[in-house]
Structure 1
Amino acid sequence: MFKDKNIVVGICACSPAIKTLDLIGQLRERGAEVDVIMTPNSVNFVSPLMVQREAKRPVQIEAFELPKMYDPNHKSLSQKADLLILAPVSANTLGKAANGIADNLLATTIMSTKAPIIAAMHINP
C-alpha cells in the first residue's frame, strides 16, 4: 500500500508523542520511506534518537541547522512528501499553520507542501 511512498511525519509537543514511534514502525513495515520533522519542544516528550532509530533516517528539528550530510539531489521534505501526517498535532501548531506563522520547520512544511495532510489532534479537555 505504501511501497515507494515518501511519508513525512510531524511530531508536536504533546504527551502522546511517544506513540508516534509505533506509527513510524507500521508505516515502514508497509514499505513507506518515512522522514520525521519534530518541533523544538517535542524533544521534551520523545527522544530524537529513538525516533531516528525507528525511522532509519535523520530527524529534522530546526529549519536552519546544517544538514547531516550533503545530498546533491536534495529535495525539501515538503516537495518530496506523498503524504504529511501530523501525529500528534498540537493546537498551537495548527493555529500557526492557519495564521501563516512559519517559525519552525514543521509549520513551514505544513504551509509549503502540496501533499495531502492528515492531522491527528491532541487536546486535553
Structure 2
Amino acid sequence: MKFFGKNSAMQINGKNYSGNNIAIVDSQVYIDGELVDNLDKEQKIEVTVLDNVDKIISDKSINIRGNVTGSIEAKSNVNCDRVNGNVVAGNNINCDDISGNATAGNNINCDDIGGNATANKINK
C-alpha cells in the first residue's frame, strides 16, 4: 500500500503515523523512504486514513475516515467519505461522495458521483 500527500496522517493496526509518503511493503512501514516500523507478518494489516492524502494505491481493502483530495486504487474494497478524484476498486466501493469516476468489479454504494460510474450494481 502506498499513500501520497503532504503531512498525511493515518493509523496502521491502531498506531498513528504521519509524513508525506507512507508505504507498507512486506509488513514494514516506510515514511518518506525511511523504515520506521515492522508489523506482525501474521496479523491482518488494517489502515485508517485520517487526513491529507492525495493518492492511495493498495493491493488490499482500504477504509478511509476523512477526505481524499486525489484518487484511490484498490484491488479489493474501498470504504470512504469524500474523494475529490477517481475511485477504482476490484470488488466494492462504499462512500459518501466521489467527484470523479467510480469503477468497481461488483457494487458501488455512493451518495453522489460526479463522473461516470461502472459496476455490476450501482446504488445511489
Q: Same fold (TM over 0.5)?
A: no
Higher helix share: 1
Larger gyration radius, structure 1 or structure 2:
2
Higher relative contact order (CA 8 A, sep 6+): 1
Give the TM-score normalised by structure 2: 0.30
Give the TM-score normalised by structure 1: 0.30
